[in-house]
Amino acid sequence: MTFAGNEKEEDAHLTTPYGINATRVPPTQFERIEYDVTDRFCQWLCLLTCPIHWLPLVPGVMGTKTMILEEEEAVLNTNCQPFCNIDTRRPYGELGSVDQHHCLCCTGVSSGLSSSAPLYIGWGCEHDRVAEIVAELKKRMKARGDTGQLAKTEEALQEIQALRHELSSMKADMKLVLRALNVPDHEMTMNRA
């Protein structure tokens, strides 16, 4: 065990009185990142090809889209004020496949966050920003998605195994103390009854 003044050591390692060391892995911390993912090219294309799309009631047309990457989930905000405001939230483990989507010369982000169509950012030619968003989503999916949950489960299993080992050591020590004090063994008294 650690005592006052050793808090930093306690954060990194768990040490028991029986000499078992378990390393505590700090969880990955992600900062909040916002991306403007408004698809201006797609909006103008819709406006030019069909007069019905002049209505701003269709989500995304003549509005803005913002992708917010939070600690545990991704949020896509489609804002067509004053008519509608749509927030789509997905935990990173539920985004499915996150890829760059290419159509002619345009590059977009496809994921479970925008399942209807890929997000072609800006005028569709912002390849570096699309690659940055895809890389950041994949990094967060790995840490928070199924792979991250598997790592947390394995860490919990290691802690349980360390506790089991410590418990068996404590039982052995307790038996030695009981024998030294000439106290009858609990298991033997239970069998006699």
pLDDT digits (tens, 9 = 90+) for 143-177: 876 666 777 788 888 899 989 999 999 988 888 88
- The position carrying tokens 């106290």 is 183
d(Cα 100, Cα 124) in Å, to the nearest integer? 12
Task: Using a pLDDT cut of 70, give the percent of the chain over it.
Answer: 70
Position 23 confidence tier, pLDDT thresholds 50, 70, 90: low
Q: What is the pLDDT of residue 102?
A: 83
φ, ψ of residue 149 in degrees (nearest 5)? -65, -40
Question: Could you tell me which residues come within 8 angstroms of residue 2 by beta carbon, excluding any fewer than 6 positions away?
Answer: 9, 10, 15
- Top pLDDT among 7 and 129 is at 129
